[in-house]
Amino acid sequence: MTAATITTPPAESGRARRRSVLWLVGPLVLIVAIPVADHFLPPDIHLAHLLIVAPAVTSAVAGPRLTALIGGLAVAALVIAGAERGSLATESVLVELASLAALCVLLALFSLLRNRHELELLRVRSVSDATQRVVLRPLPDRAGPVSIASEYRSAEADTRIGGDLFAVARVCDSTRLVIGDVRGKGLASISDTAIMLGAFRAAAHRQAPLPELVAYLEDAVRWGLAEFSESSRSEADTGERFVTAVVVDIPDNEPVIHVISCGHPPPLLLRNATATATALSVPDPALPLGLGGLSASSYVQTTFPFVHGDQLLLYTDGVSETRDAQGTFYPLAERAAAWTDQAPEAVVEKITADLKAYAAGPLDDDMALIVVQRDRTPAVTTAR
């Protein structure tokens, strides 16, 4: 689809046409009823001025052609009403005719301009949606021996990308994931999100060890943020821009996961056998990306057991820091522990629905959520 091409789903288009037809019933009834009523009413009661309601209602729900048609019928109805009373040539009726005709023209023009504005908005939205899907690609349902489910909500309405991010990549013998949170939220943080995701996709497919991957991300993010700040002439906040992230490597043939945390909330290990949700806190988390400037040797991966049936819950602070009406943070680990027997898709759906019900109002921060489950027993049981 190009920016100039807009498609509307057939069902939605059909519903819109039916709504327009239903809305036109009232104006048409009004146009017919007023001349008939004028014929039977006393001479001192005149309803013709109500005919303007018909094109006014039509212009609110229909296009310029239907508005012009209803306006023309309204003018014709006024002529008929005036002829029935024998007052068509009077000054009062002529003024009413001229006023009604002028208002109908203005309403048709208004409808035309509104339609053009809506089409332009639809074009912009289609381009925005396409851009967002390129930057924040949907995660696959499967990657190697693991199944994946995810959810993303932006803090800004009608926006599918913001300051939270996630991505997955396959190497020859493992699956790598990243989840992160750019400082800021909504549309203002999209450039930093694109920098981070571009760096991960460029490097994650390499066979480099996890510490080297994170060191590459640090260099790429720090360079990208500095270059963007220089080009946008906003160097004042360069040192305040960063990305918190967790990078995970899940080997295909070992019952473990390797984790490096860069100032991000720890993942949760969901274990069905014990119905528990355990935070995988690393002993020495690194600084957020864009602040450290560290070498690969400075990043230390921590290894945790991850056996068949285990699930890994990755999230951003838009989930864990959601508050209820009393200001209490959402108890993510406690709630997630109740759903350890569910499939990843069900866990994501339940947490998302529960989070919306828990919040005191609309979510005011970007939110990203990933659940990964190991579906296949590793062939090798020794951790490297």
Q: What is the pTM of this model?
A: 0.70
Q: What is the pLDDT, as a whole number, of residue 25?
A: 80
User: What crossing angle do the helices spanning 53-61 and 10-40 adopt, rounded to 10°?
Assistant: 180
Q: What is the pLDDT, as a whole number, of residue 176?
A: 95
Q: For residue 67, give the nearest of 11, 113, 123 by alpha carbon.
A: 113
**Which secondary structure element, helix H or strand E, spans residue 262, and what is its range?**
strand 256-262
Please report which residue ranges of 254-369 form alpha helices under DSSP H: 317-320, 332-337, 344-358
42's tokens: 């006393």
CA distance linking residue 318 with residue 74, whole number of Å: 55
Grouping H, G, I as helix, E, B as strand and the rest as coil, residue 247 is: strand
First to last CA, the chain: 47
Q: What is the pLDDT, as a whole number, of residue 95?
A: 84
Question: To the nearest 10°, the Cα dihedral for 73, 75, 80, 84?
Answer: 150
DSSP 23-39: HHHHHHHHHHHHHHHHH
Q: What is the pLDDT, as a whole number, of residue 20?
A: 59
Tens of each residue's pLDDT in the chain, 384 residues: 333 333 444 444 555 556 556 667 878 888 888 878 777 777 667 777 788 888 888 888 888 888 888 888 988 888 887 777 777 777 777 888 888 899 989 999 998 998 898 888 888 777 767 766 777 888 999 998 999 999 998 776 666 667 789 999 998 889 999 999 988 655 557 778 888 898 898 888 888 899 999 999 998 888 887 776 555 545 445 556 789 999 999 999 999 999 999 999 999 999 988 899 999 999 989 999 988 767 777 899 999 999 999 999 999 998 999 998 888 999 999 999 999 999 999 999 999 999 989 987 777 778 899 999 998 766 554 433
Which domains, ranges and CATH numbers included, belong to the chain? 10-132 (no CATH), 139-374 (3.60.40.10)
Q: What is the pLDDT, as a whole number, of residue 16?
A: 54
The one-letter amino acid code at 288 reads P
Q: For residue 220, give the nearest of 243, 188, 237, 239 by alpha carbon.
A: 243
Residues 6+ apart with CB under 8 A from 295: 215
CA distance linking residue 21 with residue 4, whole number of Å: 28
